[in-house]
A and B are shown apart, each in its own frame.
Chain A
Amino acid sequence: MMKKLVMTVMMIVLCALLAAPSVWARETIKVGIVLPLTGGQAAFGEIERNSFEMALAEINSAKLLGDKKLEFIFEDDTGKPEVARSAAEKLITKDQVVMLGGGYGSSETFAIAGVAQQSAIPFLVNTGSADKITEQGWDYVYRLNPAASDYPMGLETFLTEVVKPKTAAILYEDSNFGSSSSKSFETTCKRLGINVVLSENYSKGGVDFKPLLVKVKQANPDLVYMISYLMDASLLMGQSMELRITPKLFVGGAAGFTLPEFPKKAGKASENVFSATLWYQTLPYPGAMEYFNNYGKKYGKETEYHGAEAYAAAYVIADTLKRAKSLSRPDVKAALSATDMMTVFGPVKFTSYDKKINQNKLPTYLVQWIDGKLELVWPKKIASKPFIYPIDFEKTWK
């Protein structure tokens, strides 16, 4: 009898000891993040993952979620929509994540958004910007970054107040993002009374853009607007200089023109090129400059607006999960809907306008490469340096 009692007590103690760690360890909340970590857009995917990880470390060490630990599970979409789809499905069914984040390329983001809506799991998009993503009436899809058609808003006032161009040429990548942005820029031009003399698309990764650029040269527009990714952007500018295409100004409408690699490759052809952008480190948002500096210190590289989007998204995710009543999908969705916070990327609050739902609306800006440095030049009152216009290309290209 005694022996039996001792045994029982010992068993109970043993069980308690085994069970204890799981009681003491912080409960983890898993969130799935889909990004292009390999493939042609991996450079951006890497910036975003680094930013997510940086934010995650801060969130967990500051115990933003109380006793619970936040965990990001990264999946690679390789820049292909079908892979993005299966990555999202894997995160939902196998990893049982409470919500999804990430979404870089528009086509991939669209695929993930479809899965998220089907599985009724909240998805916070931080980069994929084709308009249609938030125009489907998919109520589980939220977008932190402005839609593609909003990108040139900052440029618009600059054009009407300073440049007043009469003709424009648009060159764009034949992707979801490219065609969506070019269409909206064409409408903008129409509204401003600018005649679009040329609108041409190309497939990314080309070596020689001269066949396209000779057409621009022939059309001789006042404004050349290019919606291009990084290396296409550098080659386009370099070869424009080679063909001596001299409009009043070159404006970049996408990621390609704001990265540090752009002047590295394009050299003096990058000088005085404008670009529409969504974020700049000197913007008066709390923590923006700090994030920029910390990133540089930690990874030895410069970050840019994609990183800021990812960093802000991580904080929005943490904030949502903190406020959610439970981790059930409807509760998380309700909490995400109610988001109203300040991030390094600007204020985040999801609204509905035009055909879009759950869309965060933010102002956009204009930057310019001045003496090898990217400077915020428009709107004027927050500019880090006065803009250079008119531009004497013959002189800058010498």
Chain B
Amino acid sequence: MEMFIQTLVSGILIGGIYALIGIGMTLIMGVMKIINLAHGQLMMVAMYITFVCHQYLGLDPYFALFIAMPCLFVLGAAIQKYLLNPLLKVDSILPENQVLMTVGIGMVLTEVMRFIFHSDYRSIETGYSSTAFYLGGISFNLPMFVAFGIALLLTLGLFLFLLKTDVGKSVRATAQNMDAAMILGINAHWITILTYGLGSALVAAAGTLLLPIYYLFPDIGGPFTLKAFVITMLGGMGSTVGAIVGGVVLGVAESLGATYIAMSLKDAVAMVIFLLVLIFLPGGLKKLTKV
């Protein structure tokens, strides 16, 4: 029983970070209808920013959130404004050439970081990296627990923003129907820039929170892009609640799979769930949550 609970706890905790990674992608997917395949690489950039802040300025990674998130917001907005939006005007055989562009952006980000920081593994040592507290023999990793909490707070903030503010409503309107939104006087062009910036800032938060428990090298982005993609599909494209549920489901599925089947098959377990959702719940968990 203890084994089961411990597995569940680690699954949920890691799921919180997954959710934060997925939510940015789902936001971008909802508004622009494209898969942002540079998502993991953006996270990697944020991790390097956090690393530099910690290593050279001595900033605590949690404080570095306030630097990494704005930086990535600007980077994301710039990518949307100068690299992705111009593509909309170009006729091409593939309507998805924005997606291809994001693949390219991801590669450039990886190689730029390799150029600056080399391929070395980097990690930051904080006093609390492997601190844990125990409840009845079950260990809760402190940085993971904090990350989970911050992920919840950020998601809540995003929710309030989308539901209560005018700009947030414009984002939702653009996501629902871009043409109609434009007719009603919403500057959809500006909304796309804002959305990509927001999505990048959210994944930056995930990267910063992940760094104390994980490590960093230029090629780290790829696997996380894949994770974000799975979560987005699992949750239902464009659904923020779906992304949270999707992230936690993925985390728990991976953990249970690792404990009860085999650790090397944990990705396979996640993929089986992914397929089951696609077959029986096309449109993702959004169908259940209706948000």
Contacts and interface: CB of A to CB of B under 8 A. Distances in A.
Interface of A: 37-40, 42-43, 45-46, 174, 200-203, 205-212, 214-215, 218, 230-231, 234-235, 238-239, 241-244, 261, 264-267, 269
A210 B121 contact: no
B6 A214 contact: yes
B118 A46 contact: yes
A269 B139 CA distance: 16
A234 B264 contact: no
Nearest to B5: A214
Given A202-B266, A203-B266, A265-B123, 8 more contacts: A38-B119, A43-B217, A174-B264, A201-B262, A211-B7, A231-B215, A234-B215, A267-B130
Contacts of A230: 121
Contacts of A211: 7, 10-11, 254-256, 258-259, 263, 266
B243 interface: no
B130 A239 contact: yes
B121 A214 contact: no
A38 B219 contact: yes
B255 A242 contact: no
A5 to B, nearest CB: 60
Contacts of B223: 205
Contacts of A265: 121, 123, 125, 215
Interface string B108-124: 00000010001111010
Interface in B1-57: 2-3, 6-7, 10-11, 13-14, 17
B267 A203 contact: yes
Contacts of B219: 38-40, 42
Contact of B121 (A43, A207, A242): A43
Contact of A40 (B132, B144, B217, B267): B217
11 contacts: A43-B121, A201-B264, A202-B263, A202-B264, A211-B266, A212-B259, A234-B215, A235-B214, A239-B130, A243-B6, A261-B120
Nearest to A210: B10
Contact of A218 (B3, B213, B254, B263): B3
Contacts of A244: 139
A81 B290 CA distance: 45
Interface residues of B, number: 40
Contacts of B3: 214-215, 218
Contact of A238 (B129, B258, B266): B129
B3 to A, nearest CB: 5
Contacts of B129: 238, 267
B141 interface: yes
B171 interface: no
Given A211-B259, A214-B259, A203 B139 contact: no
Nearest to A46: B119
A110 B2 CA distance: 43
A261 B123 contact: yes
Nearest to B130: A238
Contacts of A269: 130
A69 B267 CA distance: 49
A43 B217 CA distance: 9
Contacts of A241: 130
A264 B123 contact: yes
B210 interface: yes
Contacts of B214: 207, 235
A266 B123 CA distance: 10
A203 B264 contact: yes
A242 B267 CA distance: 24
B259 A215 contact: yes
Contacts of B255: 208, 210-211
A212 B258 contact: yes
Best-buried of A37, A174, A211 by chain B (most CB within 10 Å): A211
A42 B3 CA distance: 36
A337 B274 CA distance: 53
A300 to B, nearest CB: 11
In order of increasing CB-CB distance, the 8 nearest A-B pairs are A42-B119, A211-B258, A202-B263, A211-B259, A174-B264, A265-B123, A238-B130, A210-B10
B262 A200 contact: yes
A43 B119 CA distance: 5
Contacts of A212: 258-259, 263
